[in-house]
């Protein structure tokens, strides 16, 4: 049935098994509980399964159901005695079930095999996990039916998939029917709702509705889960919920003190790096305080924030004796220098712009990026002296500048490749392997590789040998 | 010591993420996580060497090549990977290859 399946999932499972088993003793030696090891396995497996790398992991050609049943330890024995109600075949695709049921691990997992004929009755005490990782604890026998349209749906048994606050471990087979009935109506409503975004975390004390993303291929349902869960299940749920993105909020200036403060010159270079992570380092922005009193427009601030590092670097190069007004004016001008400042070490270009702005005052020249302050002063002095002196000195100064301008365009071509290299090596398609031999003849290359893992667009492949040719 | 090369794979990255989560919840120590990763290195190297038996051919154009610390890094464009059953075409692929003759001391990707 799965004869043409990819070897990757099995390989991954075997690697996971190997690692977990070999770490079992180490964990015990370290005094770490075994449930932590199982939790590691669950986290690892769920991440691998959720990735596209093994999208054929539990794939069946007929019914792509992604049901994973997690059984508590004490249920393993019950499951070994198949009752008439259990339709789950024991032979298909249960590669890790037997091992797990036999081991002393707290959880047993297996997936519904592809050829399972619905309806499937799942006995009580079973925890169902969807491919997206959401868990449903079953406290009464559950009937999994197949809705028309090949959707996998938990039909009326959903009503039973609810529990009370009492410890579940003590209730394996019986439930409080009155509780179920009262809860049933809302469950039905939820059952028909469109998929809701995941979000709620299973709290230890309060039952919360858990929205699932996918149940097999089917529609989404949500149900309430008990307050008290086995710790492993809780942890799993915690881990499988999408992590809250920490400081994804757009950059705001709230809480940033922009009271006038003397600029701190020393950590200028570090500050540049910090500005790239504005959201996390807002506290350090206080160093820049001075010029932003009164500026509350985000756009302007963002632009100025972008120019600030250059400003501080330049002020670091020059003695900072300017009044706030002049600095403010300079910063206004600095906004227009944004593009220029992105190009570093181009004295000629900056000089040309500074000439345009020189009418507004001398100080803003100091805020041009990466300009050698001494050269700038020399230029200014040369310009100043040319007014009263001969034009030759002025020309000589201009000639000194000219070769730089000519060289910069020549050298600027070298910079382009620098920027491309990081992007060049970034790709979603990666092959990680070992090489037996790399051969080159003129511009024809031949690759003899081995033991590789390939990932193309998220999908994984493996090879024991790879031979390739390419022309450079 | 096996290559740590394979940590930057789906399997390796998912393991590292899982370990990070456990470290954050202080269920394991970073040292223990490192032990797990070392064990993973051994397991994946062994698995690839012993449990995989397929051959792939590929052809494309070489954009860049780099050889540093006995590690080859290539970037190829417009590549076709051909297996007996599959054909996969990608417009850009990065190949990182460690020395296959000596799997002893090199522990870097």
B71 or A282, which is more confident = B71
Of A12, A23, A434, which has the smallest distance from its Cβ to B99's Cβ?
Answer: A434
DSSP at A117: P
Rounded Cα distance, A279 and A268, in Å: 18
Q: Do B59 and A470 touch (CB under 8 A)?
A: yes
Among A99, A90, A164, smallest CA distance to A120 is for A90
Predicted local distance difference test score (pLDDT) of residue A168: 42
CA distances from residue A280 to A71, A265, A377, B24, B32 in whole angstroms, order as listed: 42, 21, 38, 19, 29
Q: Which residues lie closer than 8 Å to B59 by C-beta, 6 or more apart?
A: A468, A469, A470, B79, B80, B82
- pLDDT number for residue A30: 85
B residues 79..98 contacting A (CB < 8 A): 79, 81, 83, 85-86, 88, 90, 92-98
Which of A470, A471, A472 to probe by mutation at the B interface, max B CB count within 10 Å?
Answer: A470
Can you give the pLDDT at residue A31? 87
pTM value is 0.45
- With CB atoms and an 8 Å threshold, state whether A22 touches B63: no
User: In chain A, which stretches have pLDDT less than 70?
Assistant: 1-5, 52-409, 412-427
Calculate mean pLDDT across residues B68-96.
92
Is residue A365 within 8 A of residue A380, CB to CB? The reply is yes
Smallest CA-to-CA distance from A157 within A173, A172, A140, A170 is with A140
- Token pair of A259 as six digits: 């009271």
**Residue ranges of B 9-38 with Cβ closer than 8 A to chain A:** 9-11, 14-15, 17-19, 21-22, 25, 27-29, 32, 35-36
Distance, in angstroms, between B39 CA and closest chain A CA?
6
Sheet holding A107-111: strands in order across?
Answer: A107-111, A68-72, A127-129, A135-137
Write down the pLDDT at residue A196: 44
Which is higher by pLDDT, B43 or B109? B43
Give the orientation angle of helix A231-240 with respect to helix A34-50, to 10 degrees: 30
Q: At what angle do helices A298-317 and A268-275 cross, to 10 degrees?
A: 160
Share of chain B above pLDDT 70, in %: 93
Higher pLDDT, B10 or A51: B10
Query: What confidence score (pLDDT) does residue A323 get?
Result: 56
Q: Which two tokens stand for residue A350?
A: 């900056």
Would you call A456 and B85 a contact, using CB atoms and an 8 Å cutoff?
no
Question: What pLDDT does A242 receive?
Answer: 44
Contacts of residue A200, defined as CB under 8 A and 6 or more positions apart, other chains included, come to: A208, A209, A210, A211, A241
Please give the structure tokens belonging to residue B67: 């050889």
Least confident of A235-239, B37-41, B100-104: A235-239
Chain A neighbors of B63, CB-CB under 8 A = 424, 472
Q: Which residues contact A270 (CB under 8 A, 6 or more apart)?
A: none
Residue A48 contacts residue B10 (beta carbons within 8 Å): yes
Q: How much is the pLDDT for B66? A: 94
* CB A247, CB A279: distance < 8 Å: yes
Mean of the pLDDT values across residues B50-66?
Answer: 92
Query: According to the model, what pLDDT value does residue A10 have?
Result: 87
Q: What is the pLDDT of residues A331-376, one digit of tens each?
A: 555 555 555 556 666 566 555 555 444 444 455 555 555 556 666 6
Residue listed under structure tokens 């190297």: B45
Residues contacting residue A3 through CB under 8 Å, at least 6 positions apart: none
Tell me the two tokens of residue A289: 């305080």
Tell me which of B5, B62, B108 to substitute to probe the interface with A (most A C-beta atoms closer than 10 Å). B62
Instruction: Chain B: give the shortest CA distance to residue A244, in Å.
Output: 13
| pLDDT tens-digit readout, A296-338 | 444 444 444 444 444 444 444 444 445 556 656 655 555 555 5
Which of B40, B49, B59 has its CB closest to that of A468?
Answer: B59
Cα A114 to Cα A48, A51, A62, A64, A283: the distances in Å are: 19, 20, 7, 7, 55
Gap between the Cα atoms of A138 and A163, Å rounded: 8
Using DSSP, state whether A10 is helix, strand or coil: helix
Token couple for A126: 């079973």
> What are A43's two structure tokens?
């986290």
pLDDT at B1: 72
């Amino acid at each position: 049935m799965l004869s043409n399946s990819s070897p990757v999932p099995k390989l991954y499972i075997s690697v996971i098994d190997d690692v977990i088993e070999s770490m079992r003793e180490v964990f015990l030696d370290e005094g770490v509980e075994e449930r932590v090891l199982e939790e590691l396995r669950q986290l690892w497996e769920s991440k691998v399964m959720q990735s596209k790398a093994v999208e054929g992991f539990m794939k069946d050609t007929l019914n792509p159901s992604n049901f994973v049943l997690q059984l508590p330890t004490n249920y393993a024995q019950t499951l070994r005695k198949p009752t008439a109600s259990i339709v789950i075949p024991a032979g298909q695709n249960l590669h890790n079930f037997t091992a797990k049921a036999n081991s002393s691990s707290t959880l047993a997992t297996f997936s519904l095999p592809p050829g399972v004929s619905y309806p499937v009755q799942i006995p009580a005490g079973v925890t169902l996990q969807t491919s997206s990782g959401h868990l449903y604890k079953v406290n009464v026998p559950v009937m999994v039916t197949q809705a028309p349209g090949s959707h996998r749906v938990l039909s009326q048994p959903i009503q039973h998939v609810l529990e009370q606050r009492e410890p579940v471990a003590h209730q394996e087979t019986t439930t409080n029917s009155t509780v179920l009935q009262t809860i049933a109506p809302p469950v039905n409503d939820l059952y028909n709702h469109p998929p809701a975004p995941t979000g709620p975390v299973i709290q230890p004390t309060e039952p919360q509705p858990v929205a699932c993303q996918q149940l097999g291929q089917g529609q989404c349902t949500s149900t309430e889960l008990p307050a008290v869960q086995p710790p492993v299940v809780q942890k799993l749920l915690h881990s499988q919920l999408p992590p809250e993105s920490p400081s994804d909020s757009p950059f705001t200036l709230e809480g940033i003190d922009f009271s006038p403060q003397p600029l701190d010159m020393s950590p200028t270079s570090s500050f540049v790096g910090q500005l790239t992570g504005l959201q996390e380092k807002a506290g350090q922005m206080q160093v820049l305080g001075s010029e932003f009193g009164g500026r509350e427009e985000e756009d302007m601030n963002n632009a100025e924030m972008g120019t600030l590092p250059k400003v501080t670097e330049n002020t670091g190069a020059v003695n900072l004796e300017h009044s706030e007004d002049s600095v403010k004016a300079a910063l206004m001008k600095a906004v227009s220098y944004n593009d220029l400042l992105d190009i570093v070490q181009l004295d000629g270009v900056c000089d040309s712009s500074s000439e345009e702005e020189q009418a507004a005052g001398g100080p803003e020249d100091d805020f041009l990026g990466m300009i050698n302050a001494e050269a700038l002063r020399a230029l200014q002095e040369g310009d100043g002296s040319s007014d009263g002196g001969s034009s030759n000195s002025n020309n000589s100064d201009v000639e000194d500048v000219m070769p730089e301008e000519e060289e910069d365009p020549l050298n600027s071509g070298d910079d382009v490749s620098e920027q491309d290299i990081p992007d060049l090596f970034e790709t979603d398609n990666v092959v990680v392997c070992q090489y037996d031999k790399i051969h080159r003849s003129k511009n024809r290359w031949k690759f003899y590789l081995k033991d590789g893992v390939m990932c193309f667009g998220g999908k994984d492949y493996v090879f024991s040998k790879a031979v390739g040719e390419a022309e450079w | 010591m096996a290559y740590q090369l394979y940590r930057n794979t789906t399997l390796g990255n998912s393991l590292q993420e899982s370990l990070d989560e456990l470290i954050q919840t202080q269920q394991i120590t970073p040292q223990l996580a490192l032990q797990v990763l070392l064990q993973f290195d051994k397991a994946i190297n062994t698995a690839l060497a012993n449990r995989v038996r397929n051959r792939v051919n590929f052809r494309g154009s070489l954009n860049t090549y780099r050889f540093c610390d006995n590690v080859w890094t290539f970037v190829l464009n417009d590549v076709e990977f051909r297996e007996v059953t599959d054909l996969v075409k990608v417009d850009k692929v990065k190949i990182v290859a460690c020395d296959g003759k000596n799997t002893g001391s090199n522990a870097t990707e």
